[in-house]
Structure 1
Amino acid sequence: VELLGFAPYHAIAKSLDPLPLEQLESLDTLIDKIDWIKKSVRVTQWFEELFQADWQPPASLLPEYRYRSSFKTVTSFRGSELGIKRRSNQEPRIQALRGNDRSTMRAKLMDLAGQGVVLLLQVNFQPPDTEDIDIFMRLYPAGDAMYLPPDLQVNLLDESGKSCMKAQAGKTNDKIQIDFSCQPEERFSVRLKLGDISITEKFII
């Protein structure tokens, strides 16, 4: 038996047709993908009440008023493509998602050179209407701090490491928010940088 390559789940899930050989990925990259998966947070497991120890209920890290603010920016994320749209009619949909039992939320305390920030992910899924997984990502100051550390940078990366979206905190920013959606088995990462300190969190849908 000769292994010619492999294909990720999202490349074959929607078609019963044989996959052309030229669309197979090299086996040389398989180990890297397996390593990524081992080090990643699989966010859809949160719907099954399976949480990593360092991902906690937001209320244990933040006052509730901070993370119950409205969502205004809608970002569409597909693999290496990212488009930003602002829609005046988006808020009713967000409110509907909030009431959906296919919604889960977790937060993690991130230490950047002694300055803490809280990374929060709200994950929404509405089968059978769509396979899209909506992700609302927010950064908040930790503890009693009113604002995020000035010059804190956040970078949303696709599975190839390509930057999709960037944001940087000013002197009086109390949150950073990036909203996007993914398909099952897609991967992304979030890189936080403050001065010479950088932390990357990897995720898989």
Structure 2
Amino acid sequence: MRRLISGAVLAVSVVTLTACTTATPYQPVTGNPASSMARGYSDQKIETNRYRLKFAGNSATSRETVEDYMLYRAAELALENGFDWFTLSGRNTKEDKSTTTTYRDPFRGPYYGGVFWRYYRGPGWGPWGAWEEDETTFYRYEASAEVILGKGPKPEGDPNAYDAREVKQNLDGRIVRPAARQ
């Protein structure tokens, strides 16, 4: 029975860990887009040809992927609304950095609970307190911009103007969609 429970706990741990290390797929945000846990794209129509757009990834999603997904969504918005090109205004990519440190317990081992462990400084004994074992830094990116949509040929000489069909075609192979639920 104990072995069965241990196996079940291990299986749940592996599934949970795997879910945490998967990059955010290209998907709309579910729930509140203002939540710090929101992952995916959200857009808000401001005018007939203007949207506020955001794509937020998790710590397994690269900066390049987050920016590509925002561009892809801007191209989709243009084409869905009958426009040919778009420009990005106020484009920004925010980086959130968090560091996690794990510690080794100095009191683990055969001498746990020994009074002398804490005070004796001789060879083979460690100092008081925990030792830093490992430090991991996680990065999370969120890209945002106002998207201005236009019809006809894209403006020449504007480095912020994109042909919607071309962007969609060129980025389509890089888009990872969520797995279908069974």
- Structure with greater helix share of residues: 2
> Which TM bucket (shorter chain)?
under 0.3
TM-score, length of structure 2 as denominator length: 0.24
TM-score (norm 1): 0.22
